[in-house]
Amino acid sequence: MLKTQLDFARAGIVTEEVRCAAQNEAISPEELSRLIAAGVAVLPKNVNHSFPHIKAIGHKLKTKVNANLGTSDECVDLEFEKRKLSAAIKAQTDSIMDLSTGGDLHLLRSFFLEESPVMVGAVPIYAVAAELARRGEPLEKMTEEMLFTSIEEQCRQGVDYITVHCGITRESFRKLDSSGRIMPCVSRGGSIHLYWMRKTGKENPLYEHFDDLLEIAHRYDVTLSLGDGLRPGTILDAIDGPQIEELMTLAELSKRARARGVQVMIEGPGHVPLSHIQSHVQLQKRLCEGAPFYVLGPIPTDIAPGYDHITSAIGGALAASAGADFLCYVTPAEHLSLPDENDVYLGVMAARVAAHVGDIAKDVPGAIERDKRISIARECLDWEGMMAEALDPELVRCKFSLASDRQSCTMCGKLCAVKMVRGAYELQKE
């Protein structure tokens, strides 16, 4: 039975969702459908979730941006989350993830699913861990049934894609013990699995019962985002044995997912030196047969707390240019606190800059046309035209200040290079 976007694409059927997503790209719906069929693009949309701005992620497509939102057990405030969602949408994010761990998690997911005009992702194991913490029970009390029940509940509720840390196995755990890492595990989902495996001595249920996970994902057409639970948390731990071991496991699982008709993308680091980002993206693409790559940052230096939206934009631009397809934003609050709405806005904008830089570098169809239009507007001193093409027109309008001649800005005034060159050419004509 055809159920998922991948099923339909393989059958040669161009769905309405594919047609909607193709409107945002410089390719035809038929070509987008072929990319989905090949597993090099995904279209995250749960059969139980309707939203207006449907986007696809992957090869030949614009690099997309995600904003992480949600509560913590230290800060539960729905009004705060509403402001953060508004900031993310204002900054034109392509996706949001609900990473809530405090408060009524079902209610919070419902809020994001109902109010977000873009795709919504989640990490189901957070709900299980949060519920155990609320009851004062240790994490090792989690059962396989509890985890898969939570996954099914969230998929039924309408979540479009889920991060599942299927690649952390007992074997990778052993490699981690002997790796000499400074920071063994910085992934919250990954650390939950590691703790549970250590305490119970059991294999990761998401790995051991991966076929059961595929059945749930296929039923609701939920895209699996195979999480990198052993991503490096410092550039000194990057590209080591545990990370590569997990990536190889994810590559095998991604093949099984596609064979079952389940859309899949791969998550990546994390903290990575600039010199290693390109090779890591290329390695992922090779091992995972071109599956869309979803990266956090990457962050190429560890010494810029408070400015990590900038460091991640540097890493994200290089990752996108090398072939990464989906950038998870990093905010100025990274490593420091739960982000507020201003942090969210800055994080999305920084990631959008990185995504566009990457799109130009990898020749995404139509990417450079916007740069051409704003450049022509600059040459014409067409300030309204410049604002229309800017990523953040509101900021440009706020910063803009005309000089006394009412043509140039106050940076150059009478010494405006554009005006002087224009005058020189006019003299030459005379």
Closest CA to 330 of 306, 367, 296, 374: 296
CB atoms within 10 A of CB 42: 29
Residue with tokens 């939570």: 150
**What is the structure's pLDDT at 428?**
64
- Long-range (24+ apart) CB contacts under 8 A made by 414-418 are 416/381, 418/378, 418/379, 418/381
d(CA 317, CA 186): 23
What is the band of 346 on the pLDDT scale with cuts at 50, 70, 90? very high
Cα separation of 313 and 316, whole Å? 5
Given this model, what pLDDT does residue 430 score? 58
Q: What is the pLDDT of residues 111-135, one digit of tens each?
A: 999 999 999 999 999 999 999 999 9
* Contact residues for 168 (Cβ-Cβ < 8 A; gap 6+): 190, 193, 194, 197, 204, 207, 229, 230, 246
- Tell me the domains of the chain and their CATH numbers: 61-361 (3.20.20.540), 368-399 (no CATH), 402-430 (no CATH)
Give DSSP secondary structure letters for 97-155: EE---SS-HHHHHHHHHHH-SSEEEE-HHHHHHHHHHHTT--GGG--HHHHHHHHHHHH
* Main-chain phi, psi angles of 206, to 5 degrees: -70, -30
Task: State the amino acid at position 175 in one-letter form.
Answer: K
Average pLDDT of the chain, as a whole number: 95
**327 has pLDDT over 90:** yes
Burial of 178 per CB tally in 10 Å (0-12, 13-18, 19+): exposed
Q: Please, are residues 92 and 352 in contact by the beta-carbon 8 Å criterion? A: yes
Rg of the chain taking only CA atoms, in angstroms: 23
What is the percent of the chain with per-residue pLDDT over 70, rounded to a whole number?
99
* Cβ contact 122:130 at 8 Å: no
Provide the pLDDT for residue 427.
Answer: 65
Residues 362-394: tens digit of each pLDDT: 999 999 999 999 999 999 999 999 999 999 999
298: closest CA among 247, 352, 354? 354
- Please report the pLDDT score of residue 410 as a whole number: 85
Terminal CA-to-CA distance of the chain, rounded, Å? 75
- Of the candidates 35, 89, 31, 38, which has an alpha carbon nearest to the alpha carbon of residue 65? 89
**What is the pTM (predicted TM-score) of this model?**
0.95
Give bridge partners of residue 65 from the DSSP assignment.
327
Confidence at residue 411, expressed as pLDDT on a 0 to 100 scale: 86
pLDDT of res. 173: 80
Is the pLDDT at 155 greater than 80? The verdict is yes
User: Is the model's pLDDT at 360 over the cut of 80?
Assistant: yes
pLDDT at 342 over 70: yes
pLDDT digits (tens, 9 = 90+) for 164-215: 999 999 988 888 888 889 999 999 999 999 999 999 999 999 999 999 999 9
Q: How confident is the model at residue 422 (pLDDT cuts 50, 70, 90)?
A: confident
Q: How far apart are CA 233 and CA 230, in angstroms?
A: 9
Q: Looking at this protein, which amino acid is placed at residue 324? A: A
Q: What is the pLDDT of residues 95-115, one digit of tens each?
A: 999 999 999 999 999 999 999
Q: What is the pLDDT of residue 414?
A: 83
Is 20 within 8 Å of 44 (Cβ atoms)?
no
